[in-house]
Amino acid sequence: MGALEASYTLKLSENGDDVEGAGQITRECDLKHQILSASSSPDFWMKEFDEALQILEAPVADSIIGATNFLFKEVAKNYKVVFSGEGADELLGGYVHYALLRKIEFLEKFPFAARSILRAGMGIVWSIAKSISPYPGQFGILEREKLKRFLIEPDPKLAYHELVSLFHYKNNLDFNGPTRLSLRGAQQFDLIHWLPNYTLRRVDFISASYGLEVRVPYLDHRLVELVLSSPSRYLMGRHGDKSPLREAHYKNYSKQMIWKNPKTPFLISAKDTNSSLMRDAMIANLENPADPTGTIRQLVMENNLLQLLKENRVLSPLESKMVFSAYLTARWFSIQNEHSR
């Protein structure tokens, strides 16, 4: 493969700092900085969702599929091979639940902060969770109840599921999870299960549909072996999430201080999710889901998702992810049914 020529950054209505930071780095690397601006209209995202869901052989119920589809579709107009950053969060501890586990591990080093006290001290962990969350909006009752269930669950597999899943687990279901509830245990579990079954599945299917080959250098076996053979404290640097990566680039970007920028999750603007067009589409798909198993209907009823949408208010981060997950899954089944006719 020839030399790198350009980098692509997706510009949303609320990620201006990320776009500017990416521009500074690409200029330092003598690359062309291509900015792809996503439309702020709800019908733009609904179109991208539908295109992605038509490509996927199994539903990936996350709004990032729309951004992935738009990005790869545009990049494929000029290039056939690209590098992407998948795997960095799993390998270098970038997810928000890693940050919480990191904080709890630190507190448990002290006798007065043993896990039993942490379970009783809900207020302490609640404050920590809110302070490290990169998501905008106010945490609500659902987030607090979820964190409480995580703290009191003695089974590490079920506790981890409670921490990372959108919906509350059911006691009659069997869930996989790490055998020990720690940053390294969670990291290894995600590398084995979450990464290939969710993240790489999304990237592989959507990129291939546009004739694009995506390479993931963070998953080079030499880097993976180096990180996993290092002590877990290697991931607990003073710079927060992805400390090893931040520290590696300190000398290159210390003047711009880009390396200190906090990680920001992908989020569609609240203006889009709260629009009547988006809500009407969600309600229509969730009222009569085409899922033959009945699972979506059960989730909708047990979690009052239709009521949340009809209240016409700004949803909390967890509420928003729940309705998006159910909607995109229901929409995938609807699209599959349309194609099978």
- Convert the pLDDT of each residue in 228-260 to its tens digit: 898 877 887 777 778 888 888 776 766 667 777
Same domain, 107 and 140: yes
**Distance of alpha carbon 50 from alpha carbon 69, whole angstroms:** 10
Rg (CA), the chain: 21
Q: Say what the alpha-carbon torsion angle 278, 283, 289, 293 is, to the nearest 10 degrees.
A: 100
Asked if residue 232 belongs to a domain, the reply is no
- Across the chain, mean pLDDT equals 82
Same domain, 28 and 66: yes
Asked if residue 231 belongs to a domain, the reply is no
Asked if residue 182 belongs to a domain, the reply is yes
Residue predicted with more confidence, 167 or 131? 167
Question: Is residue 292's pLDDT more than 80?
Answer: yes
Same domain, 333 and 292: yes
Residue predicted with more confidence, 44 or 127? 44
Give the residue from 143, 163, 187 where a domain finishes: 187
Total domains in the chain come to: 3
| Helices marked H in 93-177 | 96-107, 115-120, 122-132, 141-152, 156-164
Asked if residue 17 belongs to a domain, the reply is yes
Reference 328, options 135, 67, 50; nearest CA is 50
Same domain, 83 and 42: yes
Same domain, 211 and 252: yes
Which run of H or E residues covers position 295? Answer: helix 295-302
Same domain, 255 and 321: no
Asked if residue 235 belongs to a domain, the reply is no
**Distance of alpha carbon 138 from alpha carbon 314, whole angstroms:** 9
Question: Is residue 24's pLDDT more than 70?
Answer: yes
Same domain, 328 and 281: yes
Q: Tell me, what DSSP letter sits at residue 109?
A: T
Q: Which of 85-89, 270-274, 304-308, 321-325 has the lowest mean pLDDT?
A: 270-274
Same domain, 83 and 211: yes
Asked if residue 228 belongs to a domain, the reply is no
Asked if residue 230 belongs to a domain, the reply is no
Q: Tell me, what DSSP letter sits at residue 197?
A: I
**pLDDT band at residue 1 using 50, 70 and 90 as cut-offs:** very low
Same domain, 23 and 55: yes
Which run of H or E residues covers position 33? Answer: strand 32-37
pTM, two decimals, is 0.86
Q: Which domain holds residue 323?
A: 270-340
Asked if residue 234 belongs to a domain, the reply is no
Same domain, 206 and 74: yes
